Amino acid sequence: MNKHSQLPAGTTSSPIYDVLRKDLVGGRFAAGEKLAINALKEHYQVGLSPLREALNKLAAYGLLIQENQRGFRVPKLTRDELDDIARLRTELEGMALERAITHGDALWEAELLAAAHRLKRADVSLDKGEEWERLHTQFHRTLVAPCGSVWLLRFIEQLHDQFDRYRRLGPKMPIIRQELDDQHHELVDLALSRDANAARALMDDHIHKSYEVALARFQAHA
């Protein structure tokens, strides 16, 4: 299996796309900020053409906004959009989880256990860095992987990135974070016991708790 797994647009050449994507999701750029292309060029040590092509792809993906003759901008974060993303993620990821539980085979069970274990190992270090994020994304991806719909997986991944822009700016909230970590293992248990309804209900709650973390930032800054 690829170490990067198959990204929808990640089949492309230069790694600048993936790096920028990671930095955008990780909040390295301020929401609403206008990107200074020359500064990016220098900072990431890439040429103008590969950079612009990456920015164009990110705009089509929804992590940037392209404005007519005035470059690229980081999308603003709004309460309304967070609600939209969380609700749609609940619907799509729930749908995918049901299908995955129907179709997932023994290999999937093994990979799911492995992904959950790797994530738990990273949970213990209280400071959750890029590595934890990677494992977390990978866990959720594994969970729904055998749903049978390439397009559904694609949309879910896109929504995850969007959602994470909000979540990763949220406060620590150690109690809720602990519950979230625990839920990953409960999700595995329910998936392995093929209890689609309970799994879906738990996923709904999981997303809702994450939503509360993300939302806290708005209430603090409002």
Partner DNA sequence: TTATCAAAAATAATCGATTTTTTAACTCAT
Partner DNA sequence: ATGAGTTAAAAAATCGATTATTTTTGATAA
Judged by beta carbon, residue 73 or residue 128, the one nearer DNA is 73
**Per rule CB under 7 A, is residue 71 in the interface with DNA?**
yes
- In 3D space, the residue among 80, 76, 92, 123 whose CA is nearest the CA of residue 215 turns out to be 80
Tokens standing for residue 151: 């397009």
Three-state SS for 206?
Answer: helix
Beta strands in 80-164 (DSSP E): none
Where is 66: in which H helix or E strand? strand 65-66
Distance CA 177, CA 173 (A): 6
Where is 72: in which H helix or E strand? strand 72-73
**Per rule CB under 8 A, is residue 81 in the interface with a copy of itself?**
yes
**Per rule CB under 8 A, is residue 210 in the interface with a copy of itself?**
no
**Contacts with a copy of itself in 46-65 (CB under 8 A)?**
49, 52-54, 56-62, 65
Distance CA 129, CA 113 (A): 22
Q: Which of 32, 129, 148, 171 binds a copy of itself (CB under 8 A)?
A: 148
Judged by beta carbon, residue 75 or residue 113, the one nearer a copy of itself is 75
Can you give the binding site for DNA, defined by CB under 7 A? 13-14, 34-38, 46-50, 52-53, 66-72
Can you give the binding site for a copy of itself, defined by CB under 8 A?
8-9, 11-13, 49, 52-54, 56-62, 65-69, 81, 84-85, 87-88, 91, 95, 148-152, 154-155, 159, 162
